[in-house]
Structure formats: structure tokens, C-alpha cells
Amino acid sequence: MAEQTVWGIHAGKTGEAEALFADHNCIAVGWPEVGDLASLKANREAFKARYGQVYPDRSAGHVPVAAGQLFRFVNEIQVGDYVVFPAKLDRTVRIGRITSGYAHRPDASAAYPNQRSVEWLKTFPRTKFSQAALYEIGSALSLFQVKNFADEFRAALTGVELDPSVSEDAAVAAVVMESEQSTEDFVLKRLAREFKGHAFEHFVAHLLEAMGFRAHVTKKSGDGGVDIIAHKDALGFEPPIIKVQVKSGEGAIGEPEVKQLKGNLSGGEKGLLVTLGTISSKAELFARTVPDIRLIDGENLVKLILEHYEQFDSRYRAAVPLKRVYLPAPAEQASD
């Protein structure tokens, strides 16, 4: 006999859905404007069509994701399946069994009318589960299938203790990687929005100053492809002089831009190219043949910003607001 499927569900940012789940022994999803979903044909296209009609302003990428969750709630969840609910208000994990099919109940909740009845079986503290399992039920979706660590939640119902150490480091690494990627995306989006064109040159100059350089932005025209002049000493007499070319576009930098920078160097000067975007393989290959040039793409730019963020002035902190947080470290790093 096949094991019951395990589903995960979230209750939104307010406490209304959590109270509904507890007081009415149910789970529910929102999107009340779509109406009674039982009237739709049991295929994803019908759900996408209804969702698109009700929410015409939603992006093309958002529609199938949201409509897919509604489709699964109505058609894929089966009576007898388990559901895992990470409650935010009391920081517990509740596990229940689905006891009914889909029902449209706007009288029970105007905000969460799409419901299924549940028998709540057990409630556990979050510390009962491995970091990996908690990471999986922390999905950004309102409704999702728990796959990788479903056995851990099934075992909790029977009182069986599983060894969480096998998956712990992998989960920690995934948490850190996702956090780092989210931060990188946020910073790059902020830079692209707040510092277009010449303003980005001033931002890069400020970053260089936070790194200990003296830097000034050249005039908007007639700079010959050099946007910033940087140096270490206060008067600029001591080498090296660094000529900086800045690209605020998010596309790929090619070999011609690197060659242009090289052509602007003379007498022991160094060259630095900074871009919000990426750097093509040809540009990278050419730069390796020129020891006096360094290239910084968007990913490495973010790393420098995070490293020197404490030295930024209030204007740039406000434009790119960040705060220091602590993340779990894999065992081999924590012991270093």
C-alpha cells in the first residue's frame, strides 16, 4: 500500500487563516475572487484561464504558479493525505489528515473560501524536525507537496526518531546559498534602479573610497572612456594610478570594452572595469593577457559592497538598505 502524500500549506501573513485552520479544522487557500473552483474543468488550462480573467494584471509567469496551486488544492489532494502546517503565531508544526474533498465556503471565511476539512493529529515544536525538513516546509508557495523530507513528518506521527544529521549540512548549505542569492539579486536591482548612468559612476567611486582609495569622477563628456580616476595617496602623485571604466547596463561586457580600457593606460597605470552585468568569456580571456587590468562583474561587485558596507555614508546606505544577519554554517566551517 502506497504511503500517503504529504502536503505543506501556509496561512498568509495575517493570523486570520491560522485561526480558521484551528477553529474550523480545515485548511484553505485564498484568491476569493476566482469563485467556486468546483465549476471548472479538472485541468490546469481551465484554472489558468479563470485566474487570468480574474487577475488580468498579473504577470505571465505568475499566472501558472498561482493557478497551479488552486488546481492541486482541488484536484490532486486526496482524502487521507497528510498536511503539514508550520504555524507562525506559536512557532509549531501541526500535522493533520485530509478528511474531505474541496468545498467553497465563503460563509466560513470571505478571505479563504476554498477549503478542505482536516483532522489535526499532532502538534510539535519546530525543534522536533531537522533543519532540512524545516527548510522544505518554508516554501514560498501557499500550497506545495513535501517530497524530500516527507518521511520525517510521517515518522513524527508514529513516534519514530530519525537521525537528522545526514541531511543537516546539505540543508544549511541550501539556506545559505539561497540567502546569498537573494541578497545579490536585491543589491543589483537596487543599483540598477537607483544609480543609472553617471550616478553609478559616483557610487563606484564611493565604493573605492570605502576600500581606502581616493577617487574622483571625470566629466560626463570627453573622458575618453575613463569614468573614475583612483589612487592611494591624497595628492595622487604616488603610483599606481587606477583608471576606472563603469558600465551600468545589465548585459554582458565584451572584448572591445576591455581593449578600449587598455588603450587608455600608460606609464604604469592600472585599469579597472566595473559592470552591473556579466563579462563575456572573450573579455575574460583578453584580460588575462593584460596584467594591469581587473574586471569586476555584478556578482563580485556585490561581494565588495557587502565587505565594505560599514564604511558607506548614509546616502548610499539608504539607497541600498542592508542589515547584518547570522546564518547557520555547515559543520566543517563552524569548527574552523
- Tens-level pLDDT at each residue, the chain (336 residues): 458 899 999 987 666 788 899 999 999 998 999 999 999 999 999 999 999 999 998 888 889 999 999 999 999 999 999 999 998 888 899 999 999 999 999 999 999 999 999 999 999 998 888 878 888 888 778 999 998 889 999 999 988 766 555 555 556 666 666 677 788 889 999 999 899 888 999 999 999 999 999 999 998 654 567 999 998 876 555 667 899 999 988 788 999 999 999 999 988 899 999 999 999 999 999 998 888 999 999 999 999 999 999 999 999 999 999 988 776 665 555 445
Query: Which residue ranges form the domains of the chain, and what is each CATH number?
Result: 6-162 (3.10.590), 187-319 (3.40.1350.10)
Residue 40 CB-half CA count within 13 A: 24
| pLDDT (0 to 100) of residue 177 | 67
| pLDDT (0 to 100) of residue 76 | 95
Q: Which residue type does 143 have?
A: L
| pLDDT (0 to 100) of residue 58 | 87
| pLDDT (0 to 100) of residue 335 | 47
| pLDDT (0 to 100) of residue 133 | 86
Give phi and psi for 141, each to the nearest 5: -80, 155
| pLDDT (0 to 100) of residue 239 | 65
| pLDDT (0 to 100) of residue 1 | 45
| pLDDT (0 to 100) of residue 159 | 82
| pLDDT (0 to 100) of residue 79 | 96
C-alpha cell at 89: 503565531
Mention every residue, 6+ apart, whose C-beta is less than 8 A from residue 189: none
C-alpha 7/C-alpha 28 separation (Å) is 12
What are the b/e assignments for 98-119, b being 16+ CB within 10 Å?
beeebbbbeeebeebbbbbbbe
